[in-house]
Amino acid sequence: MGRSVMAKASVLFVCMGNICRSPLAEGAFRAEAERLGLEVTVDSAGTGGWHKGDPPDPRAIAVARRNGVDISGLKARQVKPDDFRIFTHIYALDHDNLRGLLQVAPSDATAEVGLLLDLVEGHRGRAVADPYYGDDAGFDVTWSDVVLAAQALARRLADEGWARV
């Protein structure tokens, strides 16, 4: 059912360190939301703070760039309790980070929290491939995963009546 008052959606993508998967998801979703004309706030974060302030992994930047998306200006940050009230949707990229999110969610959280690939038909329960310890080809697999999820999420938000620009 569509919303009677059009609101602005806000989406946060979360992985462990916020340098590979979640910035790729942020970039893919920004591009898809723009393509569909959705007015949405988008960000990414990590459950851990090891890379706070760092740019995405160079391999993530490269795969996004090859696909027409620039994520080079993003900076890693850690999830904070306010995120659960600021964002309407928070998506973990794997089960461990979903558990971590649910453990730190404040009691007054308002965000919908879930596993990103649950949005993609036939991918329910799957984690987005973590390319960090592998070779460059792993980043292509991750990009494919986040693009599928970005398309599904953007369609869902549009169908639910979130604001368009």
Domains contained in the chain, CATH given: 11-159 (3.40.50.2300)
Q: Give the per-residue pLDDT at 165.
A: 58
Known catalytic residue at 136: no
The reported pTM is 0.94
Known catalytic residue at 70: no
Catalytic pick from 21, 30, 59, 77? 21
Known catalytic residue at 21: yes
- Give the count of beta carbons closer than 10 Å to the beta carbon of residue 144: 15
The answer to whether residues 131 and 142 touch, using CB atoms and an 8 Å cutoff, is yes
Residue 49 CB burial class (10 angstroms; 0-12, 13-18, ≥19): middle
Q: What does DSSP say about strands 40-46 and 112-115: parallel, antiparallel, or unpaired?
A: unpaired
- In this structure, what DSSP letter does residue 147 have? H
Catalytic pick from 54, 96, 118, 130? 130
The answer to whether residues 63 and 30 touch, using CB atoms and an 8 Å cutoff, is no
Per-residue pLDDT in tens (0 to 9) along the chain, 165 residues: 344 444 789 999 999 999 999 999 999 999 999 999 999 999 999 999 999 999 999 999 999 999 999 999 999 999 999 999 999 999 999 999 999 999 999 999 999 999 999 999 999 999 999 999 998 999 999 999 999 999 999 999 999 888 665
Nearest to 134 by CA among 20, 5, 16: 20
